[in-house]
Amino acid sequence: MALLRRRRELSTLRTEESRTRCRLTIITVCCAVVVLTTLIVGLYYTVKVINTKFFYCSGSLRFVAIEKVCDGKADCPDGEDELVCVSKLRINGTFPVRLVGDRLVLQVFINDGGWKTVCADNWKTKHTRLTCQQLGFTLSPRSTRIPLKSVLIPSLLNAFGIVSTESNNTDIQSFITASEKCVSGSVVSLSCSDCGETAGLDRIVGGVNTEIVQWPWQVSLQWNQQHMCGGALLSTLWIISAAHCFTGRTRERLWSVVMGQTELGNVKGVTVDTIVVHKDYSRLSNDFDVAMVKLTWPVKLKESILPVCLPPYQLSVKDMLVVTGWGLLKENGQMPSILQKALVPLIDKSECSKTSVYGPAITPRMLCAGFIEGNVDACQGDSGGPLVYLSSRWQLMGVVSWGVGCAREGKPGVYTDVTQLLNWIYTVMEMNT
């Protein structure tokens, strides 16, 4: 009996020792995990702080003060610190392709001949595809024929261009020659992408909550993962926004684009490859307040991520426009977590240019929208976002630019007039595709 009792005591002792070792192992592993996690988190925030203070020259393994990056001088031996910066572009020529009016009638610019409305004579599918590629689009190129008698803009019927030659060039104007007649009696209407369509029905100050599927082109431009400005998706590669969003934030690698989200949470954005700001942009006058952002890779389109249409020339606006964004709900107020929308009317330029409103501050590259009595307006955080109009499809009429305060009486919102900068927009997309 004594021997049996001794064996039991030894067994119990071994069990206790085993449990103690197990507990010690668990405690050791937990401590190791905590220490490792602390080190990783600490390293992450250390790197983040360093990135805000210094630029790492990977070619020479040295650091450069952040103030010296994008200052026009190469501080890294290979100039690496000047290769990650916002670029500027001014164009002096005429982009040779444009769409005109509600029917999207195609015109081509012929040197020494001016603008010619493209007749449907000899027009083929390859010409449609080539023209859309020249406009910077590759998605769903298609064209239709419009009878001359249904064209309501007389200036489109003054001079024609027809396909009369074959060419190995990649520009449509090399196929077109001037003609006094259009034998087929029809002109070409062009559509280059599945844009301006939404899956939804049809805070901004005075706005209401909305959903991204109703405005699937709306994006958030984020600097260091913080929302700074809005933007609008134009194609699978290109975003349009405001030039002033990038003032003082010229390092492309710190920008990202979040899309397809109604609420801005902790969502990882698409990285940015190139940012192009209009070279004539002025911080003093806010003139030419437009920028183009190229994504690192094409985005996959879906119900909540779709491009908006660029407007044609001479589009007649008859109804309300819509502005969307995550900007402040009131002047000096809070930023909403949910996307906001507001309906605003277009204000005649002569009204907006009155001394009591904005006077000579309104340039030909600007338009005004909102209410003279105030109450509804874009605000801080909405900058760069889209002002859209529903014609046959949703079309981008303006980019949120500036204003005095938010929703103040007599001070409506001022937007970059997209129709006045189509030449620049198309040129940027063509040059960088």
Instruction: Decide the pairing of beta strands 186-191 and 413-417.
Output: unpaired
Which of 193, 304, 383, 391 is catalytic? The answer is 383
Q: Which of 121, 244, 278, 417 is catalytic?
A: 244
Give yes or no: 289 in active site. Answer: yes
| DSSP one-letter string for 99-121 | EETTTTEEEEEETTTEEEEEBST
Q: H/E element holding 98?
A: strand 97-100
Contacting residues for 320 by C-beta, under 8 A, at least 6 apart = 343, 344, 345
Check if 81 is active-site: no
Q: First CA to last CA across the chain, in angstroms?
A: 91
DSSP 8-state symbol, 418: G
Identify the three-state secondary structure at position 356. coil
In the residue annotation, 127 being an active-site residue is answered as no
Q: What is the number of H-type helices and E-type strands within the chain?
A: 4, 24
Token pair 């911080």 in the structure block, residue: 283
Cα–Cα dist 140/161, whole Å:
24
Locate 58 and state its tokens. 């990977």
Q: Among all chains, which residue has been given the structure tokens 């196929």?
A: 175
> What are φ and ψ of residue 284, in 5° steps?
-80, -45
Closest CA to 219 of 376, 399, 397, 52: 399
CB 385 within 8 A of CB 232: yes
Greatest Cα pair distance in the chain: 123
Catalytic, out of 121, 287, 289, 382: 289
The residues annotated as belonging to the active site are 244, 289, 383
